[in-house]
Amino acid sequence: MIAKPAWLRRSILSSEKIENTRRLLRRFSLNTVCESARCPNLCECFDKGVATFIIMGSVCARGCGFCAVKKGKPEPLDPSEPSRIYEAVRPLRLRYIVITSVTRDDLADGGASHYAAVIRYLRGRLDDIKIEVLVPDFGAREEPLKAIYNAKIDVFAHNIDTVRRLYKSVKPNSDYETSLKVLKTAKALSGSVPTKSGLMLGLGETTEDVIAAMKELRDVSCDIITLGQYLRPARDMLKEREFISPKTFEKYEEIAYNLGFTSVNSGPFVRSSYHIACFNIT
């Protein structure tokens, strides 16, 4: 086992605000990436009253080797979910909301209409709010993506997660080209809405692999990129092959900007919605 370096060690925060955020999420029976995926930034984000909501249940139809979200037969959709998210968001006084989901291959539209219902419900009740969606691939079909765009979003995100060479070992039930097509189709639907994707590093990729992935994202006009260290959330998950140094993350950030990304967040603890305020989104 590789020893975890000093830059990946964090003290555990404890505060009343963290507990208040936890209680609020429990009260409305909401799932978050923070908890379900065992994110290392949970305490920091909860302390700021920030959470990334997972909709359409807590069970995913696919099984990726890096993800701690439960796999199996998904639960029925809950029509009360849009209102429950609103009731949690309102006291948190969020100005930026991230909505993601488990993958629902069991649904004809992949759950796109449920995404749209959540977005419209929030839009109709919250002023001056920005909404980002982090979606599964929907098989790269245009109709589900249209349904989400028509509900009016501010950022469209879909993560490729890893480089082309490692894709099938990391995401055996998904397809790299499909993910690129999702981002290309999303940009074609509305060039004014920024598209965003992310990579986890430390799974055995080379510098050349990472640069090639960034270039392929730019080839489909992806605007925003996040790069973070993969950290195994449980013993039965894929192991880290390497811990990437902060200086290497700085180098990747510079390369990404040189390739034309409008916003880049690159660092050991970076995740898709981490420090969202750093993005130049107007």
pLDDT tens per residue across all 282 residues of the chain: 567 787 776 666 556 666 777 777 777 777 766 555 555 555 566 566 566 788 998 776 666 666 666 777 888 999 999 999 999 888 877 778 889 998 898 999 999 999 999 999 999 998 888 899 999 999 999 999 999 999 999 999 999 999 999 999 999 889 999 999 999 999 999 889 999 999 999 999 999 999 999 999 999 999 999 999 998 877 777 889 999 999 999 999 999 999 999 999 999 988 777 655 444 444
Length of the chain: 282
Say which amino acid occupies 226: T
d(CA 158, CA 242): 24
In 3D space, the residue among 159, 258, 239, 251 whose CA is nearest the CA of residue 207 turns out to be: 251
Instruction: Identify residue 281 by its one-letter amino acid code.
Output: I
**Which residue reads 């849009």 in tokens?**
82
Residue ranges per structural domain of the chain = 14-278
Supply the pTM of this predicted model: 0.88
Residue 199: partners with Cβ closer than 8 Å, 6 or more residues away:
159, 160, 161, 162, 163, 210, 213, 214, 225, 226, 227, 228
Looking at the domain 14-278, which fold is it?
Answer: TIM Barrel (3.20.20)
